[in-house]
Amino acid sequence: MTTAKTIHLTLKVVRQTGPDQKSNLETYAARNVSTDMSFLEMLDVVNEDLTLAGQDPIAFDHDCREGICGMCGAVVNGRPHGPQEGTTLCQLHMRHFEDGDEVVIEPWRSRAFKVIKDLVVDRGAFDQIIQAGGYISINTGGAPDANSLPVPKEMADQAMDAAACIGCGACVAACPNASAMLFTGAKISQLALLPQGRPEAKRRAAAMVAAMDKLGFGNCTNERECEAVCPKNISIVHIARMNREFLKAGFF
Amino acid sequence: MNWLINVVRSSIGKKLCMALTGMCFCGFLIAHLAGNLTIYGGKDAFNAYAQRLHSLGALLTLAEIGLLTFALIHISVGAILFYGNLTARPQRYEMKKNTGGRSLGSATMPYTGFLLLLFIVFHLMNFHFVDKTRQSIFEIVSAAFQQPLYVVLYVTAMLVAAVHVSHGFWSAFQTLGLNHPKYMPLIRLAGLVFSLVVGAGFGFLPIYISRMT
Ligand code: FES
């Protein structure tokens, strides 16, 4: 393991005081950043300085800081969640930056995600897509006996891959069309692949796609930028499955 | 019929329209190219091909109406999608990098599509809506390609077409839900080969014709 170094960065952060305000790019110096810090810890340090100087700290979303909750995220140097593949912003470490780097930090940009403040955006649109049908509406009762409902291993694996989605919104942020199809595809797939989800598969696909369309997301043109930035490496195979499920619901 | 309207009005339904009509155009391109290859058989072979094609009569008219309908769908739905996607991100990024998913074809789809539309109108005016009673189709074609400007325009248009189908071909499969990790690399390769065939197959024709006489 290499030992920690200390680096100095220039941050260019998009600041916005509130919803419907104009945003502008502000420059900050991030001095004495340990390369062992995470990106969010680096922002914490900058915010401490800002607070001590009597300025408004940079608002950003975070919760678990373990890469599992999906709260964090910003576009760093033109890439959602920063330069490292398959990694959330909270799990991105400063050792991936060089001394003297200029780092541009922006919020997710999409008509469907309103900026609340600085880097914090309202991803309630995702919740509305889930509310439209991203669940199973049966009373499950007690836990069933183990292995009473056989699921082929491959199916279980694929469902698990889809279920890895933490709903961070990076797919929308990366999509040239600000489309939410990777998110919606993953949420439809995780249930469509399992026997418990099959009975409502059609209704679910139709309802969730309709909700997605209404919320102002763009339309997928198969650019594949979403799967490239997804911190959970979710594949567009799930978008194809959503298309199948939706067409089945529409035509049969 | 309500269900059909609902499907077509949805985002995935619009993609489906693009995919299905686009696939038909791919089929049309193959047929068109196969016919055009008779040029390599010489003047008579080409004229004979044209004559046989036109002897299909009503069948040909039907195919033309079909193509025109598909074109109208492809263009209008494409335009709706293009506009919708433009407005889906009102505030642009200060800095945005592509992460490797985007290709030349995918990034330029609406623009190459628009150029192709212009080309098709031009092409139809050149060789379709012309008086074919006094001169054979071969004479019309070879006269046109005596002008270097036509050769350049046509070859360029075919390169644009190749770029367009390089994304369109595999994209249609993805939209129809035909994505399987095992077969997708093959489909993408087929798309690439297809775009090369279109670009080179059609692209060499004007050059060849211009040097024939
Ligand atoms: S803070 Fe939970 S995933 Fe980053």
Model ipTM value: 0.90
* Whether the CB of A92 sits within 6 Å of ligand 1: no
Closest to B209 in 3D by CA, of B38, B48, B29, B51: B38
Contacts 24+ apart (CB under 8 A), B76-79: B77/B14, B77/B17, B77/B18, B78/B18, B78/B110, B78/B113
Residue of minimum CA distance from atom 3 in ligand 1? A67
Ligand 1 centroid to A143 CA: how many Å?
Answer: 30
Cα A19 to chain center, whole Å?
20
Q: State the count of interchain CB pairs (< 8 A) between A and B.
A: 135
pLDDT in tens, A60-113: 999 999 999 999 999 999 999 999 999 999 999 999 999 999 999 999 999 999
Burial B190-213 (b: 16+ CB within 10 A, else e): ebbebbeebbebbbebbeebbeee
Query: What residues of chain A lie within 8 A of the CB of B181, using their CB?
Result: 235, 237
* CB burial of residue A92 (10 Å; 0-12, 13-18, 19+): buried
Residue A1 has pLDDT above 60, yes or no: no
- Asked if residue B175 lies in contact with residue A239, where contact means CB atoms within 8 angstroms, the answer is no
Is A13 near chain B, with CB under 8 Å?
A: no
State whether A210 and B10 contact (CB < 8 Å). Answer: yes
Question: Which domains does chain A show, CATH number per domain?
Answer: 6-117 (3.10.20.30), 123-250 (1.10.1060.10)
Per-residue model confidence (pLDDT) at position B2: 80
DSSP string, A69-100: S-----EETTEET-SSTT--GGG-BGGGS-TT
What tokens were used for A38? Answer: 């995470």
| Residues 50-79, chain A, touching B (beta carbon < 8 A) | 75, 77-79
Per-residue model confidence (pLDDT) at position A69: 96
| Residue A139 amino acid letter | N
State whether A218 and B84 contact (CB < 8 Å). Answer: yes
CB neighbours of B11 closer than 8 A, spacing ≥ 6? A179, A181, A209, A212, A213, A219, A220
Per-residue model confidence (pLDDT) at position A54: 96
- What's A179's DSSP letter? B
User: For chain B, first and last CA: distance in Å?
Assistant: 56
pLDDT in tens, B139-196: 999 999 999 999 999 999 999 999 999 999 999 999 999 988 889 999 999 999 999 9
Q: Where are the beta strands (DSSP E) in chain A?
A: 6-15, 24-34, 75-76, 79-80, 102-106, 114-117, 120-122
pLDDT in tens, A150-166: 899 999 999 999 999 99
pLDDT in tens, B43-99: 999 999 999 999 998 999 999 999 999 999 999 999 999 999 999 999 999 999 998
pLDDT in tens, B15-48: 999 999 999 999 999 999 999 999 999 999 999 9
Does this model's pTM top 0.90? My answer is: yes
Q: How far apart are CA B164 and CA A245, in angstroms?
A: 27
* Whether the CB of A74 sits within 6 Å of ligand 1: no
State whether B92 and A241 contact (CB < 8 Å). Answer: no
Q: Searching chain B, which residue's CA lies closest to the CA of residue A13?
A: B94
Question: Which domains does chain B show, CATH number per domain?
Answer: 14-89+103-212 (1.20.1300.10)
| Residues 186-245, chain A, touching B (beta carbon < 8 A) | 209-210, 212-213, 216-229, 235-237, 239-244
The residues facing A102 across adjacent strands are A10
Is B164 near chain A, with CB under 8 Å?
A: no
